[in-house]
Amino acid sequence: MDPAGLIGLAVALGTVFVVMLIEGTPPMAIVLPGPLLLVWVTTLAVGLMGHTLKDAMGSFAAVPTALRSKAPDPSGTIETLVSLADKATPPAPSPTRSCARACSRRSTARTPRTCG
């Protein structure tokens, strides 16, 4: 499991707890059943409204996979990107003999060769 999910959850709950203390709300008010039901059930209902029932059931089935996810192996993606880059990059032109002769005539001790 990626620790970022647990860290985010801890930071979110810690923030809510600190805000409740700052406002003077008793900390046990966070576990009252009425507000918990209101928030969780309403959130699920609103999420269902925007999707089909098949998609909603698929999202519940994906939760365990999301929580147990492992870092993906990037080697397949890298190979694909390299092959696409090879197709997109035209081959470099090779210098011709006339270019090489002209380059050797132009070069002096002070100027480097920059032919090709």
Domain membership of residue 110 (yes or no) is no
pTM (2 d.p.): 0.39
Domain membership of residue 73 (yes or no) is no
Domain count across the chain = 1
Domain membership of residue 20 (yes or no) is yes
Ranked by mean pLDDT, the top range of 60-64, 79-83, 101-105 is 79-83
Q: Which residue has the higher pLDDT, 5 or 13?
A: 13
For the chain, the average pLDDT equals 80
Q: What does the pLDDT look like over 69-98, one tens digit per residue?
A: 777 788 888 999 999 988 887 777 666 655
What distance in Å separates the CA atoms of residue 39 and residue 57, rounded to the nearest whole number?
20
Lowest mean pLDDT among 41-55, 73-87, 96-110: 96-110
Domain membership of residue 61 (yes or no) is yes
Lowest mean pLDDT among 14-23, 60-69, 99-108: 99-108
Domain membership of residue 95 (yes or no) is no
Domain membership of residue 63 (yes or no) is yes
Domain membership of residue 116 (yes or no) is no
Domain membership of residue 103 (yes or no) is no
> Which residue range forms the structural domain that includes residue 51?
3-67
What distance in Å separates the CA atoms of residue 23 and residue 20, rounded to the nearest whole number?
5
pLDDT of res. 22:
93
